[in-house]
Structure 1
Amino acid sequence: MSTTIEGESGSGVDGRVAPRHRVLIAGTIRYAGGIGTASCVVRNLSETGAKLTLSESLNLPTHFDLAIAQKNAVHRCELRWRRGEEAGVAFLDASASAPAAAPAPPIATPEIDALRARIRTLEAENARLKARIAELAGG
């Protein structure tokens, strides 16, 4: 983890391998073998990583896939930092600029559908609990 990916400049002064470009693109985070998904916004992007904005209540795993439909790309990512609704990720795939293959169709079985519903329920409950904690803390 020698590359720092925080900040906005792409000058290389902050240790980045590739310059970041500010963007505003919809993305989809896929985790747990594609069972869990979450929407995000890609705020800046380079060949080696990105900064994302996502729900603060989402418990983001260390490794996940990021699909960026507008760029026709899917990247294997490693979470490098997280502050509230923002997260920095590094791309682990060999060629971040290569177009991704078409995503596999979602698996639909009663068990997987039940797991997806449970994940949505738990994420909503997590968001409610965080809001209640903030309310009780006076925030």
Structure 2
Amino acid sequence: MSILDETSEQRTAPRRRALVAARISYGGGSVTVDCVVRNISETGAKIAISEGVTLPGHFEIVIPQMNVVHRAELRWRRGGEAGVAFLDAGEGEPRAEGAAPATQAGTPSEAALKARIRTLEAEVARLRERILELGGGF
């Protein structure tokens, strides 16, 4: 992973301003962290994230409002902001909520389906924990 200075212009695509809720997922989907996309392009984004959160070099970023999921690489981090490069640039096209990315034949790839299953399993575990915290039971 190469951490680049935010001021050095390394972008290959123009970015658009944004203020969109997103979620970072890693550890096989077992860890999720909320963040906000501040600007975005076809090849990457700048996100706002709590300063106390440690990010791995590679993770998945889910942007529900845009109906996309990208595999991403951390490129730089400064305080509560970070720059990420999309490793699947061009593949993270809009799709139906919860759908996996399509292969050339139009069917979800096996890797994409496995990643989505891991994300959903982590979400179910998180929701179960929340129900228990609220005094509910199974």
Counterparts of 1:23-62 in structure 2, within 5 Å, are: 23-62=18-57
Q: Which structure exhibits the higher relative contact order, with contacts defined as CA atoms closer than 8 Å and separated by 6 or more residues?
A: 2
TM-aligned CA deviation for residue 15 of structure 1: 3.7
> Does residue 87 of structure 1 match 2:82?
yes
SS at match of 1:70: helix
**How far apart are 1:34 and its partner, in Å?**
0.3
Where do 5+ consecutive residues of structure 2 fail to align? Answer: 101-115, 130-138
> Number of residue pairs matched?
107
SS of residue in 2 equivalent to 1:107: helix
Q: CA deviation at 1:5?
A: 8.1
Distance 1:60 1:107 in 2: 20
TM-score by length of 1: 0.66
Task: Give the partner amino acid of 2:68.
Answer: A
Match in the other structure for 2:72: 77
Q: Counterpart of 1:6? A: 6
The percent identity for this pair of structures is 55
Superposed CA RMSD in Å reads: 2.9
Q: Structure 1: which 5+ runs fail to align? A: 8-12, 118-139
Q: How many angstroms does 1:98 deviate by?
A: 1.3
TM-score between both structures, scaled by the size of structure 2: 0.66
